[in-house]
Structure 1
Amino acid sequence: MTLLEQKRHFDHIIEKVEKARLRVSDHHIVKIVAASKYVDAEAIKSLYDIGQRAFGENKVQDLINKSEQLKDLPIEWHFIGTLQKNKINHLLSVRPHLLHSIDSIELAHALNERLERDEMYLRALVQINSAYEESKSGFFPEEINEKYAQIMQECPRLKLQGVMSIGAHVDDPVLIRKSFETTRRIFETLPQATICSMGMSSDFELAIECGSTMIRLGSILFPK
């Protein structure tokens, strides 16, 4: 794909995001995080050159490698995968802009302890398993308010910004919408929450219509 073709493709996606956003409100804001886990640093730079600034990686080592290769660019790096406690030191060495996936109290405590040691802070989202799927991490809807408050109180080095969830892994748009609406409803009850991260390449328009303020787009941004 030429640079011009890539720019047209990118503009087409932006247009879809805009239309979905306007169906919510003129004032609704949606941020795109490019999920770059399947592409190399060169592909990230190409997308950066046509206007994308926030990129998210699923694996800590990939985040380290790509951020090092692209250190001359002021990229906003996000970690959007499941974080293992033994990778915390490596992740914090990159100083990511946002961690999307706090999925347990144990992980929150381990992060806070490491952050305290280095006198650092980390912006983060708490993951909700709003579709009640065994394959997904995160807190269930009925426990999230309590756990969110607990993390805020016990882990002051984590600056909670809101929540993240993945839409129901089904073909039925009614069930996908229900999982997004559940996440948004919870988001609206959380203190000082500003980010509701939900929606990927296959369902981002529906996620935006349900109130998402941040979408994670992978394959649709990096067509082969």
Structure 2
Amino acid sequence: MDKNKAVKNLDKVISKVEAARLRVSEHHIVKIIGISKYSNAEDVAMLYNAGQRAFGENKVQDLKQKSQELDELPLEWHFVGRLQKNKINNLIDLNPTLMQSLDSLELAYELNKKLKTKNKTMSCLLQINSAKEDSKAGVLPEEAKEVYEKISKECSNIKLKGIMSIGAHVEDREIITNSFKITKSIFDELKEYNPKYCSMGMSSDFELAIACGSNMIRVGSTLFK
């Protein structure tokens, strides 16, 4: 990807996000996370120079490699993949800005235990399987509030900042919209915990997600193509 392409891609995404968020409200702010899993450090640097600051990786090893290669840039790194228990310590050492894929109470307990040992905290989003698809990780919608409350009360080293979900993996826009609406209604139910982020929407469906109330999107292919 060359410099012009990076600027063009980012401009296109920003224009679409702007239009979508203004349809919701002029006060509705949406944060863009560039998912860089299929690209290299050079492409991330290109997008940084075009104005993008937050990037996400779904493998701990890739996050480590890119964050080290680009450590002179003030980037915000997000972890968005499935976290294996044997990689927890590695992720803690990388100090991500946000871990978006806390997908079970069991993982929260394990993560909290290891954070305590290292005397560190981590900001996380609870991942919800709103589409109830077997291929997706996350807590079920009907258990989400209870799990969120438990983590908030019992895991003092985890700072929950909201929730994340992936839209239904189907062609039918109505089903995708419904999965986003379920996530947003859970976000609204958690008001007393002051959740900051409702992270939903990817390259193929982020405009739909923003219409349903998303304030953080994770786009990869549209930025890095």
TM-score (normalizing by structure 1): 0.98
Offset of residue 127 of structure 1 = 0.5
In the alignment, the residues of structure 2 paired with residue 82 and residue 103 of structure 1 have an alpha-carbon distance, to the nearest angstrom, of 8
Q: CA–CA distance in 2 between the matches of 1:154 and 1:20? A: 37
Cα distance in structure 1, aligned partners of 2:211 and 2:112:
34
Amino acid at match of 1:209: A
* 1:106-126 deviations in Å (ceiling 9; x for gaps): 110111111111211100000
For 1:77-88, list aligned pairs within 5 A. 77-88=77-88
1:149 is paired with a residue of what secondary structure? helix
**In 1, Cα distance between equivalents of 2:26 and 2:55:** 25
Q: How does 1:143-162 map to 2 (within 5 A)?
A: 143-162=143-162
What residue in structure 2 maps to residue 213 of structure 1?
A: 215
Q: Provide the rounded CA distance (Å) in 2 between the counterparts of 1:147 and 1:63.
A: 27
Q: Does the residue aligned with 1:188 lie in a helix, a strand or coil?
A: helix
- Give the CA deviation at 1:2: 3.8
Instruction: Determine the C-alpha separation between the residues in 2 that align with 1:150 and 1:2.
Output: 47
Runs (4+) of structure 1 moved beyond 3 Å? Answer: none
Q: Deviations over 1:88-109 (max 9, x none)?
A: 0110111000000111111101
- Per the TM alignment, residue 14 of structure 1 is displaced from its structure 2 partner at its CA by 0.5
Alpha carbons 2:57, 2:81 under 8 Å: kept = yes
Alignment RMSD, CA only? Answer: 0.8
Residue 115 of structure 1 aligns with which residue?
115
DSSP 3-state at the match of 2:217: strand
Which residue of 2 is the match for residue 93 of structure 1?
A: 93
The gaps in structure 2 that reach 5 residues or longer are: none
Residue in 1 aligned with 2:194?
Answer: 192
CA distance in 1, matches of 2:48, 2:89: 27
**Superposition TM-score, scaled by structure 2 size:** 0.97
Tell me which amino acid in the other structure corresponds to 1:43. Answer: D
Asked whether the equivalents of residues 9 and 224 of structure 2 are also in contact (C-alpha less than 8 Å), the reply is no
Tell me, in whole angstroms, the C-alpha distance in 2 between the residues paired with 1:134 and 1:80.
Answer: 18
Cα deviations by residue, 1:143-196 (Å, 9 ceiling, x for unpaired): 111111111111010000000000000000000000000000000111211100
**In the alignment, which residue of structure 2 is the partner of 1:26?**
26
Residue 16 of structure 1 is matched in structure 2 by 16
